[in-house]
Structures are given as C-alpha cells and as structure tokens.
Structure 1
Amino acid sequence: MEKRTLYKEGSYKKGNLHTHSTWSDGVNTPEEVAEHYRGKGYDFLAITDHWVYGIHPELCREDFLVFPGTELDIELPARKDHHLVGLGLPETNKIPEGYTFLEERKRNALSTPERIIEYFGQKGNVTLYAHPYWSKVDSVDIKYLQGMIGMEIYNHGSEFETNNGSSESYYDHFLFVRNRINCFATDDAHDLEEHSLGGFVMVKTREFTHRGIMEALKDGSLFASSGPLIEDFYVKDQQAVVTCSACQDIYFQTPHRGGHLHSDAENLTEGAFELKGDEEYVRVTLKDSHGKKAWSQPVWLWL
C-alpha cells in the first residue's frame, strides 16, 4: 500500500502566497509586484496587504494567477504578535476588494487568532499562520489552533533581514500534538530588490486554475522550499522514498527517530528510510551546500 500527499498525476506550479504592495506597507504597486513575479517564472501569487483585502482580477493572465488575500495581526504583551494570512478563491470569497475591516475592528471582532480563523472561514478564505519565530510567540501559544491550512515553516523576508524566518521547530510542535496542518515557504516581500524573493511553494495540481491550486494546497500536494526541489515523496512497503534535485543532505523525520543521508559532492538525488511501523508520520527535509532547504508535507501513517 502506498501513502502520499503529492498527487501522482499533475504538474508543478511555483507560487508565493505572502507579499505586500503599496496598498499597505510595500514599496511597489500591485501591478509591479505581479509583473515582477511573473517575470521570475512564478505561476501564481497572493498579494496579502495588511488590513486591506486585495482581489486584483485584472492582474491574472493565462499563465499567471493572482489569489485574493490579506494579512491581519494582533499585538500581544511582551512584544509578541500573531500574524494570520487569509487566502481566498475569486468565485467563493465574500470579502470585497479594498475592504479594510473597520467595522470588525470597532467591534473588536478580530482580537484573537481563533476569531480571525473563524472569520476567514465564514468569508470563504483559508488561514495561513505567518512567521511565528519572527513574531516571538511560544509554540504553546499556537500549536493547538484549529482550522488553519498551514503555517510558514520559512519566511524569507524575516530570515534575510533579521535571521528569524526559519520556524521548523514550531512546525514540529504542531505535528507532535497531531495538529495536521501543512507547511509553507513564502517571501513576505515588501519590495522587489535583489534578495527579496527566496521562499516559495511548488504545488502539484491537476489543473492550472485557482480552484485546482487551492484543492492541491488543502490536500497537501505541495512542498515548501528556499531552493531545492522535491520530485516525489511517498511511503511504500515500510519505506519512505524521496526523489529530488541534487542536494547535500536528506533528512527523514518522524516523532521518534530519523535518518540522514549526506554527500560532500552534493549529488544526492534520491533516498529511502526504513520505517518500523510505530511512526505516526514521516516527512523529509532537503538541504543544499548553500544551506537552502526544501520541506515535504508529512505523510500520516496511522492516524
């Protein structure tokens, strides 16, 4: 029996689901942002400005999709924050273009992560938890949150600017308590400088539409990356198997034990890890010689 999250059939599409424009605190207009990403070979994008909802249908092309979205935040004591990104489908989203949530803010209706997650769900959006390390939250503050599509395991803007964008340990804490969410890598770009792009997702979708990509995101048919590429990852005959672009390290991770393959020549393109049967899940992380990584979704084995 084979278990996997990546679809067997489909094609990979590259995207970024967290970025900003002049609609909030970004430097570039939505038009400039979309054209830049399209020119860099991206297939889809979400422009998620702070406290203003963007749909931007005029920026979509036959070969490039823009998802509706926004980013909401909650300030906490001790210089902590919650940041939650909402992502919608054009045909089911119920939040108007340019909406600034003034009524909800007056009523203090979006004052907890739970309320924001519920609100996004009622409005036809999914919730992505953003950069927990940068936000200085403790894992216990968030690991029991329900109803989210995932969290940012890597936020490139935070990592490049302040060295706190890698949130791998936070993701493990979600999984340790069996909170089955997916992991994402994003840019969180506020400008289009040379080093602004560096976190992305590769979604294996059955059809290149907003709905097709969203279904793949919900199903876990994607991987997160800052560089390396996963071709396939699955479990069969008590083995976890990965094929990938050439890398230096392959890490297989379960709650109880792990496996590690290393090549100084950076020529690893496949790997396998023998399972013992008591693992709740297994996931894989790749690393190249520059320290860039790719993260699979966990394959849940007996839950």
Structure 2
Amino acid sequence: MQLTAFSAPGRFWRGNLHTHSTLSDGVLDPAEVCRRYKAEGYDFIALTDHMIGLYGYPIADTRPFRDAQFTTLLGAELHSGAMQNGELWHILAVGLPGDFAPANAPGFHPVADQESGPELAARAAEAGAFVAVAHPQWSGMTLADARSITAAHAVEIYNHGCATGCDRADGFQIADLLLSEGRELSLVATDDAHFSEPDHFGGWVMVKAEENAPETLLDALKAGAFYASTGPALHDVRVEEGTLHVACSAAVAVIVQGHGCAARAIHGASMTRAAMPLDRFAHSPWIRVTVIDRAGRRAWSNPLRGF
C-alpha cells in the first residue's frame, strides 16, 4: 500500500497555500508577492487575503501573474462567527470562485447574526474550494471547535508565520485527535506570509500532479496527493507485509506516529531509507510519517489508513 502522493501520476510541484498582500494586512502588493515566490523557485501560490469588510471582502485576482512556469490558485482566508473562546473563525479556502459571496464579517470580531464558521466552511467546499482549518494552536482552537468544521479537507499542521511571530505553529494535536475519531483529513504546511517579519518561504506543500495548472493542482490537493515540508523531500511512503518503508532526502530521524502514544523512530546520519515494523500500531487506525534533517527541518506525510 502506497500513499497517493507517491502512486499518483505526474511530478511534484512546490506551493504555498496561505499568503497575504496589501489587499488585506500584508506588506507587498499581489504582483510583488507572486514575483517573490516565483523567484524563490515555487511553482504556485494561493493568495488568501482576509475576506472581511474592513478590506472590501477581497478575493485577489492573481490570474495576470500566471505564466508557463508559475501559476496561482484563487483563494481567501474566510471569517465568520465565534469559536468557543469568543474569537473569530479563520478558515483557509483555496480554489474559490472569484464571485464567492462573502460572509457578513465587517472586521476581526464576531457580530450578531453571522454565518457560523462551520456553515461558511461548508459553503466554501460546496463552491469547489479546498478547505483547511487554519493555525489551530494560534487560534486557541478547542477539539470541539475543530470537530464542528466537518467540511474541512485538511488541518494546517505547520504555519511559518505563527512559528516566527508567536511560537504557536502546531496543529498536530488537533489533527491527530480528529484522525483517531475517523476523520479523513490531510495535513498542510504553509507560510501565512505577510512579509512584515521573516514569515515567508518556510512551509509548503509538494503536490503531485501531471501539470502545474490550477484545476489539476486543486484536484490533487483534494485527493491528498501531496506532502508537507519545511525542507526535506519525501520520495516514497509505503507499507509492505506489515513494514513501513520510507525513502527521503538525507535525514537524521524518521518517525512514524499513530493513535494515542503509538510512535516509533529510527535515528542515524544521512539516512535516505528506513524500514520499520508496524506491530506497535496494531490498534491504530492511521499512521503518518515525519522526516527530520540535520538542520532540524521537517517533512510530513499525509495519514495512511487501512495498512
């Protein structure tokens, strides 16, 4: 059994799914954001400005910045309703239609009679978007909050802006608990770049697709045909006869995690392959893989079920 990212046809394309510009609270205009990501070797980005009334409910039209080497997906960071802590929902939606109707969200605070976060997420998914639960740790999100977003395709498990700005980058506890409850979710790493601090070029997805085209990339994201990274490359993740096999760029640790405290690790120098028996995971409905390189950078597979 092989993860979809490695069995699907095509090649890997590097992209950032969470980016801001001067259309909301970013520092750079959309053209310059796209120019910088292209110059850094990215194949695509989604410009996801805050879709609130304060900024005129923007969905950035980044189509003029596409060319033969670089493309964009339309998107936004959606807001509406309150989480359990009383703060506004943040929902990442990539692949939105340009005419997506905004919620009643005049600013960064909940107001009466708003659409709820779960309702807004469901509406975005119905409109064709790839929907992710944004920065759970930064938001102070509870498990009950996360459970309510039943339309989500993914959880943002690493947010580089939250890492640099407040050391709250993690979404793994939420993601792992939802996986153990049976949710079918993928795991994304993003920048959440505003360019007001070193919050860019730090977290990305590698999407497997036959061409670097918006519709093809969006389909691959929804199918889970990608992995997330802050540096290392994953080349293969598969299970054969009860053993997990991982191929990757040079690593000092390869770790497999599962339900509860189930985990197993191999440590070494410049490892590019690892094999681990999965007897420790006999009662786990899912597993996922982390690869760590000598600089401490990480790559994460999507979850594997039915192994």
Q: What is residue 43 of structure 1 aligned with on the other side?
A: 43
Aligned-residue identity in percent: 31
Name the amino acid aligned to 1:285. Answer: T
Is the CA contact (8 Å cut-off) linking 1:228 and 1:293 kept in structure 2? Answer: yes
Q: Note the C-alpha offset of 1:76.
A: 4.3
Q: Note the C-alpha offset of 1:235.
A: 1.5
Q: What is residue 212 of structure 1 aligned with on the other side?
A: 216
Name the amino acid aligned to 2:59. Answer: Y
Give the aligned CA root-mean-square deviation in angstroms: 2.2
Q: What is residue 118 of structure 1 aligned with on the other side?
A: 122
Q: Deviations over 1:172-221 (max 9, x none)?
A: 11111111110000000001765522010011112221122112111111
C-alpha separation in 2, matches of 1:246 and 1:300: 26
C-alpha separation in 2, matches of 1:50 and 1:197: 20
Q: What is residue 73 of structure 1 aligned with on the other side?
A: 79
Is the CA contact (8 Å cut-off) linking 1:7 and 1:205 kept in structure 2? Answer: no
C-alpha separation in 2, matches of 1:143 and 1:294: 25
Instruction: Name the TM-score, length of structure 1 as normaliser.
Output: 0.89
Q: Map 1:67-146 onto structure 2 (within 5 A).
A: 67-74=73-80, 75-76=82-83, 78=85, 80-88=87-95, 93=97, 95=99, 101=102, 104-105=104-105, 111-146=115-150
2:271 to 262, 268, 271: 268
Name the amino acid aligned to 2:50. Answer: H
Residue 192 to residue 232, structure 1, CA distance change in 2 (3 Å): farther
C-alpha separation in 2, matches of 1:281 and 1:225: 20
Q: Which moved more, 1:192-201 or 1:11-20?
A: 192-201
Aligned-partner SS, 1:128: strand
Q: Note the C-alpha offset of 1:128.
A: 1.3
1:243 to 242, 247, 256: 247
Q: Which moved more, 1:173-182 or 1:118-127?
A: 118-127
Instruction: Name the TM-score, length of structure 2 as normaliser.
Output: 0.88
Q: What is residue 34 of structure 1 aligned with on the other side?
A: 34
C-alpha separation in 1, matches of 2:198 and 2:162: 15
Structure 2 residue runs of 5 or longer lacking an equivalent are 52-57
2:295 to 284, 290, 294: 290
C-alpha separation in 2, matches of 1:88 and 1:110: 23
C-alpha separation in 2, matches of 1:201 and 1:152: 11
Is the CA contact (8 Å cut-off) linking 2:190 and 2:204 kept in structure 1? Answer: yes
Q: Note the C-alpha offset of 1:248.
A: 1.3
Is the CA contact (8 Å cut-off) linking 2:130 and 2:218 kept in structure 1? Answer: no
Structure 1 residue runs of 5 or longer lacking an equivalent are none
Name the amino acid aligned to 1:260. Answer: A
Name the amino acid aligned to 1:125. Answer: A
Residue 270 to residue 108, structure 1, CA distance change in 2 (3 Å): farther
C-alpha separation in 2, matches of 1:109 and 1:203: 38
Q: Deviations over 1:13-39 (max 9, x none)?
A: 000010000000010000000000000
Does residue 228 in structure 1 map to residue 251 in structure 2?
no
Q: What is residue 21 of structure 1 aligned with on the other side?
A: 21
C-alpha separation in 1, matches of 2:32 and 2:77: 19
2:69 to 63, 72, 95: 63
C-alpha separation in 2, matches of 1:190 and 1:45: 13
Name the amino acid aligned to 1:55. Answer: D
Residue 144 to residue 193, structure 1, CA distance change in 2 (3 Å): closer
Q: What is residue 184 of structure 1 aligned with on the other side?
A: 188
C-alpha separation in 1, matches of 2:194 and 2:214: 24
C-alpha separation in 1, matches of 2:211 and 2:289: 26
Aligned-partner SS, 2:173: helix
Name the amino acid aligned to 2:70. Answer: F
C-alpha separation in 1, matches of 2:35 and 2:220: 24
Residue 79 to residue 164, structure 1, CA distance change in 2 (3 Å): farther
